[in-house]
Amino acid sequence: MSESPSGSKTGPDESAGKGANTEPGEFKRSSSHFTDRITADGRDGWPVEPGRYRLVVSLACPWASRALVVRRLLGLEEALSLAVTDPIQDERSWRFTLDPGDRDPVLGIGFLGEAYQAREKGYDGGVSVPAIVDVPSGELVTNDYQQLTLDLSTQWGALHREGAPELYPEALRDEIDERMEGIYRDVNNGVYQAGFASSQEAYDAAYAKLFARLDQVSEHLADRRYLVGDTITEADVRLFTTLVRFDAVYHGHFKCNRNKITEDRVLWAYARDLFQTPGFGDTVDFDHIKRHYYQVHGDINPTRIVPRGPDLRGWRTAHHREELGGRPFGDGTPPPPPPTAEVIQPL
C-alpha cells in the first residue's frame, strides 16, 4: 500500500492525528477500501483464472513486496502477470512511466487510479499498491494487502508450481496469525507510526513499541531459523519486507534510530538468510526504495535529497543460519530464476 500521512490521492486512505480512536499526533492507517477476494470458488464474483488478473506493485512498497515474494515462491508468474509502477507518484496516483508510452502495456492505462475509477466511478480515496486488476474489464478487484497474499497461498493452489512451499500451513495458522499480528502492529506499521508522528508523545510511543517488538523477535529467532516451525511461512515474508528497508530508509528517514538491523546480530543474520533465499532478495530494488521514500515524503524530507548510503554489499555475506537447521521450502523446492522481464539489477 502506498504510504503518505496526508490521506491524499497518492496515499492509502490514511491520516495523521485524525480518527475517532487516535491520540493527538498519532499516525492512523485506514483499512483497505476494496476487499473482494479472488477465490477458487469465485464466491465474490472473482474466480481464480490463469491470465485473467494483473498484479500492480511498486518495488518501493513493503506491502506490495509481500505479494512479489509470495508470487515468486509459489510460481505464479505465468498465472498472474505483473505491472511495476514508477517509484515516484504524482497527484494522480501511481503511474506507469516505466513502460513505453507511459502506459501499462496490458491494462492500457497511465495511472493506477484509472482502475479504481473503473471499479467505482467518482472514487476519491487513496490509490494504493498492491492491487489486483481484472484485465478484461479494467476494474480494480482488491487492494486488501493483508488478505491478498494469504489468498495466493490458499486459493490459487491449482496454479502453484510443482514444489511450491506451504507458506500458510493449516496446522500452524494460529501461531502464524499471532506472530503476524504483533509484527504488523509494532514493526510493519510501527515504523510509519514513528515516521509520520506529528507529536513527540506519539513518536516516543511508536519508537518504544517498535524496538520492544524487535528485541522480542530477535530473542525468539536466536535459536530457531524461522518465526514459526522449521520452514519459511507468511510470517517471515511480512517481517522481511520491513527489515530489508530498515537501514536504508526507516533508521534515518523515519527516525527509527536506536540501532540499525546490521547492529543486531540475530536479526541481521536472519534478514541476510532470507535475502539470499531465492524469491526474496531477487525481488528487492534498493534504488526504487530509497528514491520513493526520500523523494515522495516531502513533509519529512523537504530537500528530497536521496542519501548515498548505506553500503549494501553486506547483504551477500555469510549468515551461518543454516547451522540452526530448518528447511526453507519444507518438502518443496526453490523457485526458478525470475522471468527475464522481472530481473532486478543485483547488488
Task: Please state, in angstroms and as integers, the Cα–Cα distance from residue 327 to each residue in 104, 230, 330, following that order.
Answer: 38, 6, 5
The three three-digit cell numbers of residue 242, written as one number? 520491513
Contact 226, 236 (CB under 8 A): yes
DSSP structural state of residue 336 = P
Strands (E), 74-130: 81-84
Cα gap 131→166, rounded to integer Å: 23
* pLDDT at residue 135 in the model: 98
* pLDDT at residue 22 in the model: 56
Number of Cβ atoms within 10 Å of the Cβ of 121: 7
Q: What is the β-pairing status of strands 131-134 and 140-142? A: antiparallel
Helix (H) or strand (E) holding 27: strand 27-28
Task: Please state, in angstroms and as integers, the Cα–Cα distance from residue 211 to each residue in 185, 188, 234, 289, following that order.
Answer: 12, 12, 22, 22
Cα gap 220→71, rounded to integer Å: 27
Averages of pLDDT over runs of 10 residues in the chain (347 residues) are: 45 35 71 92 98 98 98 98 96 95 98 97 94 98 97 98 98 98 98 97 98 98 98 98 98 98 98 98 98 96 97 97 97 96 90
Cα gap 207→309, rounded to integer Å: 23
Q: Residues for the chain: how many in total?
A: 347
Cα gap 58→255, rounded to integer Å: 23
For CATH 1.20.1050.10, list the domain ranges present in the chain: 170-277+314-342
For CATH 3.40.30.10, list the domain ranges present in the chain: 15-159
Contact 235, 180 (CB under 8 A): yes
Domain 170-277+314-342: which topology? Glutathione S-transferase Yfyf (Class Pi); Chain A, domain 2 (1.20.1050)
Cα gap 149→32, rounded to integer Å: 14
* pLDDT at residue 132 in the model: 98
Contact 248, 62 (CB under 8 A): no
Cα gap 297→3, rounded to integer Å: 9
Q: Is 94 labelled as part of a ligand binding site?
A: yes
* pLDDT at residue 275 in the model: 98
Residue 85: phi and psi, rounded to 5, are: -85, 165
CATH architecture of residue range(s) 15-159: 3-Layer(aba) Sandwich (3.40)
Catalytically active residues are 61, 192
* pLDDT at residue 8 in the model: 40
